[in-house]
Structure formats: C-alpha cells, structure tokens
C-alpha cells in the first residue's frame, strides 16, 4: 500500500495561485519552507489543494506529536468551544487551566512542589522563565549557549543564535546576556578526541563564571537538552551535569527549554529524562497543544511564586480551548504504548538514515535522540565543510516533489530535520524515508557527476 498520491507537480495550479496571493498579501520576510499548500490533514498525511497526498515528516516544526486532527483532541476543542471560547485567566478561573497545570506539575521531572503558568507560545514562556528567575534570585544575568533557539521576541531573540537568519538588523538586543559555546561532538576540532572536546567545553563553562560574569550576578542558565535549530545537537551528558552542579553551587536557576524536544519527541516524555538531571524550570509548548497555541513554564513552586501580584499573566495565556486540546494531547502522549511506538520510529529512522550515510558521502552526520532525527550534509567528509543552504534546499524541494514534507535546520542551514507525528505507522515512515532517500540520491549523484 502506498500512502503518497501525486496527481500534479508540486506546487500544482491551485497551489501556485494561492502562493502568489500569499506573496502579495504577506511580508517578504515570512519564511516558506516548502511550496505545499494544504487543504486538509489527517494523522500523518497532508492533502493539498490540487489533490496530492503527501507524508508529513515536518510535523508543523515539531508541534504534532499526536498527529493532525486526532479525534480526541478535535472533540475536546469542539466541546470546550461550545461552552465558552475565552474569558481570560486574569478575569475568572476555569477547569481546563487548573487541570492542565495539575497534570504538568505531576509529570514534569522533580519531586519538589511544582507550579505551572501558561502563555501563548514557547517564546513567551521562555520570557516568563527568565522574568521569574530574575525576580526569584534578584540577579540580572542570563547564560545561554551558542546554537540555542529560544524565540523571536526581543528578549528571546537576544538569547537565540544563528544571527544571519534570525537576528540581522533587529538590534540592539537585550543586555545582561552571556553566550557560551557548547560541544557539538560531530564538529570536534582536529587533534582532539570527543572526550577531550567535551572536557574543554566544560572548562569553558567553568571559566566563564570567572572571566565573563560573576556567579552572584547570574539569575539563570537556559539550555535545550537537544538543540533544535542548531541541528538536533544532543548536549553531552557530562556538560549538562556540570551545568547542574554549577547552578546548585551558586544558586542559579537551571532552565530546560523543551519547546521542540519535549512531549515524546525524543521517545521519552521529556528529553531531560535521558540525562537523569532535573531542571528548576522546564519550558514546554509545540506538541503540548497538538497544534493549538499554548506554552508553559513548570517548576519549583517558590520560583513560580516569586512574581508580585500582577507580575505575570496575559490576555490569551492558557486559553480554555488550547488547554482542553492540551489535556487530551498530554493524555495520549504520556501513555507507555505511545512512547514505545515513538522509540520504534526512532530506531527505524536511525537505521535507514545511517544507510544514507554509508551510501552517499554528502551525508556527513546522522544524529538526534529517538525519533527527533536529522541528517547533516557536507561537501567533504574529511573537512566537514557544510553543504550550502541552496544545495540542502534542492534536497527539500526534490523530497516534496517525491511526496514527503521536510525542512531544513542547522547553524549553516545544511541539515534536513525530521519531526514526524509520533502516531505514524511504521510502513508510512518507511515510505516517507524512501522518498527522501531518493531525493538525497538525486542530488548526490548530480554532485558526483559535476565533480568528474
């Protein structure tokens, strides 16, 4: 059985018309990863306006762990909308907000007493985490890490790397931000072993608390356990452990940004669980809402309680409809069989993608955790010179032409990331990976021919 159905080129005639209208009506800076124009989506399939059916391996940039339009989530949204759509948590109390907070307090790592606040997005939730950390500690400085992505508001953009794509021309940025390197073991410098490189990264972290900022001035360190936009870089366990130790030693709040890597994305409920380390605050969003706009900060009650009355909150934060959707999504994701299936998908992805690496020299690295997987493309295996963004875009476009939706990532925009719905059947995943593999083979073959 084939899931992909292609009746026209992509984009087809109706899609081209809508793309033209989009370009005329919306800003030039609004990115468009593919030329897919969606009419509807179900499970792990996208049906476009020209009658084509594509396999979704992008998952709304990791928002759709439970897939497109799962029946339980759709039902919860409809039932809540029939009761009331909005009253604002600053005006009145409602069950979905309170119940979802209770659930997150239960499932987020940590045996200490926890509380949760909701926001509209991951970026806004990161802002809350920073505000609360500063209020709690009475300190101004925030340590973040190269490669990190934390959002596009002024503060979160200040914390974010990848300057050219996300930040160019938008400064000046927020002060009191200290950015430190983090070991990406694929890019271990020549002459070093991976262990030496990780040791060096740990020493840089320690040295920064002498050379760059006094520990007594640091409110928080914020890190993605698996860096997303940087190219699915899992933080080395020893680095993360030392970070936790330094935070404990100096009274610094440790913030885990799990906006992209949380809620089953790595095969566990939260990516930080792979490390056995407990952060003080955990930021979540994306798959939390199953496509609805919601983010959360969950953590130590004393930190969440640090703000003065009226110091946190917003008009739409914790929308009753979004909370209702999130309650159903979390219920699905936390089931052992859901997470077991996610891990099986990750095993399939790693096996197939390692085959790409064996077959085609342009695949420099395959990495990730569980079903959060990525292939990094290079022009030279020995030097690890990144492929150009245009070369990687050719792979994305060829993949879409083959009927599979993917998108780029990485500091050099030379990676293709896979964030499929975690409900995807294994045979559908295999078909999607085969279609992507043919796209990679096509580009690799042309590059080899051009070099002859």
pLDDT tens for 192-226 read: 999 999 999 999 999 999 999 999 999 999 999 99
Q: Helix 320-333 to helix 336-359 angle, to the nearest 10 degrees?
A: 80
Where does the pLDDT of residue 447 fall: very low under 50, low under 70, confident under 90, or very high at 90 and above?
Answer: confident
Where does the pLDDT of residue 53 fall: very low under 50, low under 70, confident under 90, or very high at 90 and above?
Answer: very high
Q: So what's the pLDDT on residue 450? A: 63
Q: So what's the pLDDT on residue 194? A: 97
Query: How many residues are given for the chain?
Result: 452
Q: What is the mean pLDDT of residues 79-86?
A: 98
pLDDT(119) > 60: yes
Q: What is the mean pLDDT of residues 427-442?
A: 98
- Rounded Cα–Cα distance for residues 373 and 257 (Å): 18
CATH top-level class of 71-333: alpha beta
Tell me the β-bridge partners of 386.
378
pLDDT(451) > 70: no
Q: What is the mean pLDDT of residues 413-439?
A: 98
Instruction: Enumerate long-range contacts of 202-205, CB under 8 Å, 24 or more apart.
Output: 202/238, 202/239, 202/242, 204/180, 205/180, 205/239, 205/242, 205/243, 205/246
CATH architecture of 13-62+336-451: Alpha-Beta Complex (3.90)
Q: What digits encode the pLDDT tens for the residues 267-317?
A: 999 999 999 999 999 999 999 999 999 999 999 999 999 999 999 999 999
- In percent, the amount of the chain with pLDDT more than 70 equals 99
Q: So what's the pLDDT on residue 315? A: 96
Q: What is the mean pLDDT of residues 366-389?
A: 97
Q: So what's the pLDDT on residue 165? A: 84
Q: Are 145 and 313 in contact, with CB atoms under 8 Å apart?
A: no
Count the neighbouring beta carbons within 10 Å of the beta carbon of residue 237.
Answer: 14
Q: So what's the pLDDT on residue 232? A: 97
pLDDT(452) > 60: no
- Rounded Cα–Cα distance for residues 446 and 25 (Å): 37
Calculated CA dihedral for residues 264, 416, 374, 272, nearest 10 degrees? -40
Count the neighbouring beta carbons within 10 Å of the beta carbon of residue 23.
Answer: 12
Query: What are the domain boundaries of the chain?
Result: 13-62+336-451, 71-333
pLDDT(229) > 60: yes
Where does the pLDDT of residue 449 fall: very low under 50, low under 70, confident under 90, or very high at 90 and above?
Answer: low
- In percent, the amount of the chain with pLDDT more than 90 equals 95
Which residues are CB-neighbours of 29 under 8 A, at least 6 positions away?
none
pLDDT(186) > 80: yes
Q: What digits encode the pLDDT tens for the residues 246-255?
A: 999 999 999 9
Q: What does the mean pLDDT of the chain come to? A: 97
CA angle 374, 70, 89 (to 5 degrees): 95
Predicted TM-score (pTM) of the model is 0.96
Residue 34 gets the label, from left (phi > 0), alpha (psi -120 to 50) or beta, of beta
Q: So what's the pLDDT on residue 162? A: 85
């Amino acid at each position: 059985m084939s899931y992909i159905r292609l009746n026209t080129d992509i984009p087809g005639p109706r899609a081209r018309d809508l793309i033209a209208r989009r370009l005329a009506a919306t800003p030039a800076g609004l990115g468009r990863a593919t030329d897919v124009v969606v009419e509807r989506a179900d499970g792990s399939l996208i049906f476009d306006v020209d009658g084509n059916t594509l396999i979704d391996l992008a998952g709304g940039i990791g928002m759709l762990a439970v897939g497109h339009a799962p029946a339980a989530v759709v039902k919860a949204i409809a039932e809540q909308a029939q009761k009331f759509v909005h009253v604002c948590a600053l005006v009145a109390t409602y069950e979905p907000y309170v119940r979802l907070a209770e659930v997150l307090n239960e499932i987020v790592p940590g045996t200490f007493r926890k509380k949760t606040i909701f926001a509209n997005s991951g970026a806004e939730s990161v802002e809350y985490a920073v505000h609360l950390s500063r209020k709690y500690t009475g300190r101004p400085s925030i340590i973040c890490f190269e490669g990190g992505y934390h959002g596009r508001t002024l503060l979160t953009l200040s914390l974010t790397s990848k300057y050219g794509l996300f930040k160019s021309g938008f400064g000046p940025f927020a002060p009191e931000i200290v950015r430190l390197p983090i070991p990406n073991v694929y890019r271990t410098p020549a002459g070093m072993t991976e262990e030496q490189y990780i040791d060096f990264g740990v020493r840089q972290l320690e040295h920064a608390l002498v050379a760059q900022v006094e520990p007594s001035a640091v409110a928080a360190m914020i890190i993605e356990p698996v860096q997303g936009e940087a190219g699915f870089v899992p933080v080395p366990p020893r680095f993360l452990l030392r970070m936790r130790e330094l935070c404990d030693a100096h009274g610094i709040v440790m913030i885990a940004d799990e906006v992209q890597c949380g809620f089953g994305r790595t095969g566990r409920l939260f990516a930080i669980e792979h490390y056995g380390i407990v952060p003080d605050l955990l930021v979540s969003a994306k798959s939390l809402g199953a496509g609805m706009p919601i983010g959360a900060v969950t953590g130590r009650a004393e930190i969440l309680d640090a703000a003065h009355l009226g110091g946190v909150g917003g008009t739409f934060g914790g929308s009753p409809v979004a909370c209702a959707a999130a309650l159903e999504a979390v219920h699905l994701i936390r089931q052992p069989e859901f997470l077991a299936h996610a891990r099986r998908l990750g095993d399939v992805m790693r096996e197939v993608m390692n085959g790409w690496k064996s077959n085609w020299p342009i695949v420099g690295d395959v990495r990730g955790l569980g079903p959060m997987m990525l292939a990094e493309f290079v022009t030279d295996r020995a030097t690890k010179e990144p492929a150009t963004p245009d070369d990687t875009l050719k792979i994305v476009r060829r993949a879409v032409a083959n009927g599979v939706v993917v998108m780029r990532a990485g500091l050099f925009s030379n990676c293709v990331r896979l964030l499929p719905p975690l409900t995807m059947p294994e045979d559908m995943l295999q078909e999607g990976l085969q279609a992507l593999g043919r796209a990679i083979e096509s580009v690799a073959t042309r590059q080899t021919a051009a070099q002859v």
